[in-house]
């Protein structure tokens, strides 16, 4: 019998404890997060200040801070209308202040209800915390009500990828040689982006690369190998392009043309557009050399094997008197 009484006492204690667990009143920004994928100057949106878990809310005072360079407040409506709220308010320097008293009855609610609806206008992209502070809730006797606050945020995302740099390993080469083209792409926006970087010579595509999940403010460096076997001798402008990402509106920095590579006729060591005795002289001056030596001339290494030798001289002879 003593055991049964003990169990009943424990159960009653748990029951009493649960009855005493009254939810804490909460003042919140709703919705807690607003995200726009693109910036539309002048666009308007609304958010609510809500209260929950109050039994006798007669008056409240609060401040809400926001990014004034990004947002402006167009208007505030105080609710519930049935309680005839009497409000005093101001908005200045990114702070909205309001002091409200209900002249008819008081607010009692468990579920969140709106006590203020705010209309904002978007001026610039960016991110704005919506911070509630210096908040006071009071009951009909003027006694402060202890409470929590939950903040919010508004974000207008920028989507902007760009080509920062295009660099070629050389500005002159022979048909059939490899030119390394280094491209630097950057994500200037606020979201992770997937896009394609493409490279061209005189608007002819010779390479592409998929950039995946490039984080905001980060850059990606891609090296392309251009095999010049696909062209005839001549001058070629090199350009790189980053494909537009969803919601991107600034396309001015997606394309960059930077540098000209001259693809020479085989044997034109001195780059004067004709293969003649002057090229043999230049070859002879570099004969037997390799990279790093004082007389090294990469243009005399006509077959690109890393050394200036008889094979290169033979190529000059083979193409003698050829002109561009």
- pLDDT tens profile 205-216: 999 999 999 999
pLDDT at residue 14 in the model: 44
Same domain as 228, residue 133:
no
Domain range for 241 is: 159-264
CA distances from 65 to 62, 113, 132, 145, 152 (A): 10, 21, 7, 22, 10
Sorting pLDDT into bands at 50, 70 and 90, what band is 312?
confident
- pLDDT tens profile 279-310: 899 989 999 999 889 999 999 998 888 899 99
Give the CATH number, domain containing residue 252: 2.60.40.10
pLDDT at residue 60 in the model: 98
Percentage of the chain exceeding pLDDT 70: 93
Asked whether residue 10 is assigned to any structural domain, the reply reads no
Please tell me the distance from the alpha carbon of residue 264 to that of residue 314, in angstroms, as a whole number.
17
- pLDDT tens profile 178-189: 999 999 999 999
Asked whether residue 42 is assigned to any structural domain, the reply reads yes
Same domain as 80, residue 52:
yes
Among 210-224, 254-268, 282-296, which range has the highest average pLDDT? 210-224
Same domain as 272, residue 258:
no
Same domain as 82, residue 179:
no
Asked whether residue 13 is assigned to any structural domain, the reply reads no
- pLDDT tens profile 17-52: 444 466 999 999 999 999 999 888 999 999 999 999
pLDDT at residue 319 in the model: 87
pLDDT at residue 21 in the model: 62
Same domain as 164, residue 149:
no
Where does a domain end: 264, 287, 316? 264
Q: Which helix (H) or strand (E) holds 79?
A: none
Cβ atoms of 292 and 305 within 8 Å: the answer is no
Asked whether residue 152 is assigned to any structural domain, the reply reads yes
Please tell me the distance from the alpha carbon of residue 156 to that of residue 33, in angstroms, as a whole number.
11
Asked whether residue 16 is assigned to any structural domain, the reply reads no
Give the CATH number, domain containing residue 145: 2.60.40.680
Asked whether residue 251 is assigned to any structural domain, the reply reads yes
Say which range, 58-62, 206-210, 256-260, has the weakest mean pLDDT: 256-260
Same domain as 145, residue 165:
no
Please give the backbone phi and psi of residue 47, each rounded to the nearest 5 degrees, phi first. -140, 160
Same domain as 42, residue 127:
yes
Give the CATH number, domain containing residue 304: 1.10.1330.10
Where does a domain end: 156, 187, 207? 156
Same domain as 200, residue 81:
no
Please tell me the distance from the alpha carbon of residue 183 to that of residue 197, in angstroms, as a whole number.
8
Where does a domain end: 156, 174, 198? 156
Whole-angstrom distance between the N-terminal and C-terminal Cα of the chain? Answer: 113
Same domain as 260, residue 147:
no
Same domain as 141, residue 54:
yes
Same domain as 217, residue 117:
no
Strands 54-57 and 59-65, by their bridges, are unpaired
Asked whether residue 110 is assigned to any structural domain, the reply reads yes
Say which range, 73-82, 96-105, 292-301, has the weakest mean pLDDT: 292-301
pLDDT average, residue stretch 106-123: 97
Contacts 24+ apart (CB under 8 A), 275-278: 275/316, 275/319, 275/320, 275/321, 275/322, 275/323, 276/320, 276/321
Q: CA torsion, points 47, 42, 254, 185, in degrees to nearest 10?
A: -30
- pLDDT tens profile 1-22: 444 444 445 544 444 444 446 6
Other Cβ atoms closer than 10 A to 170 = 14
Asked whether residue 11 is assigned to any structural domain, the reply reads no
Please tell me the distance from the alpha carbon of residue 227 to that of residue 214, in angstroms, as a whole number.
28
Share the mean pLDDT of the chain: 92
Check whether the bond before 80 is cis (ω within 30° of 0): yes
Cβ atoms of 291 and 307 within 8 Å: the answer is no
Same domain as 244, residue 152:
no
Question: What's the number of domains the chain is made of?
Answer: 3
Which position has the token pair 């407040």? Answer: 73
Which residue intervals of 128-174 are DSSP H helices? none
pTM of the model: 0.71
Percentage of the chain exceeding pLDDT 90: 78
């Amino acid at each position: 019998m003593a055991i049964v009484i003990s169990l009943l006492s424990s159960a009653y204690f748990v029951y009493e404890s649960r009855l005493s667990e009254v939810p804490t009143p909460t003042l919140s920004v709703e919705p807690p997060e607003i995200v726009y994928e693109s910036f539309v100057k002048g666009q308007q949106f609304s958010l609510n200040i809500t209260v929950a878990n109050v039994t006798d809310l007669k008056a409240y005072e609060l401040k809400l801070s926001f990014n004034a360079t990004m947002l402006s407040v167009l208007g505030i409506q105080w609710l519930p209308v049935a309680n005839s709220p009497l409000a005093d308010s101001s908005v200045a320097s990114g702070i909205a202040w309001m002091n409200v008293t209900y002249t008819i009855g008081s607010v009692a609610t468990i579920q969140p209800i709106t006590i203020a609806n705010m209309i904002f206008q978007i001026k610039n992209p960016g991110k704005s915390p919506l911070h509630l502070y210096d908040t006071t809730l009071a009951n009909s006797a003027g006694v402060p009500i202890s409470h929590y606050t939950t903040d919010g945020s508004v974000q207008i995302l920028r989507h902007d990828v760009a080509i920062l740099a295009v660099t070629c390993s050389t500005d002159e080469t022979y048909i059939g040689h490899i030119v390394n083209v280094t491209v630097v792409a950057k994500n200037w926006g606020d979201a992770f982006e997937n896009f394609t970087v493409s490279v061209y010579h005189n608007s002819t595509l010779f390479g592409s690369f998929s950039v995946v999940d490039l984080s905001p403010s980060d850059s990606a460096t891609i090296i392309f190998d251009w095999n010049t076997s696909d062209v005839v001798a001549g001058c070629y402008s090199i350009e790189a392009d980053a494909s537009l990402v969803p919601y991107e509106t600034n396309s001015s920095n997606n394309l960059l043309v930077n540098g000209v590579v001259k693809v020479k006729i085989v044997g034109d060591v001195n780059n004067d557009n004709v293969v003649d005795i002057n090229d043999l002289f230049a070859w002879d001056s570099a004969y037997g050399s390799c990279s790093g030596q004082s007389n090294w001339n990469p243009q005399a290494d006509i077959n690109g094997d890393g050394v200036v030798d008889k094979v290169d001289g033979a190529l000059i002879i083979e193409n003698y008197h050829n002109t561009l």
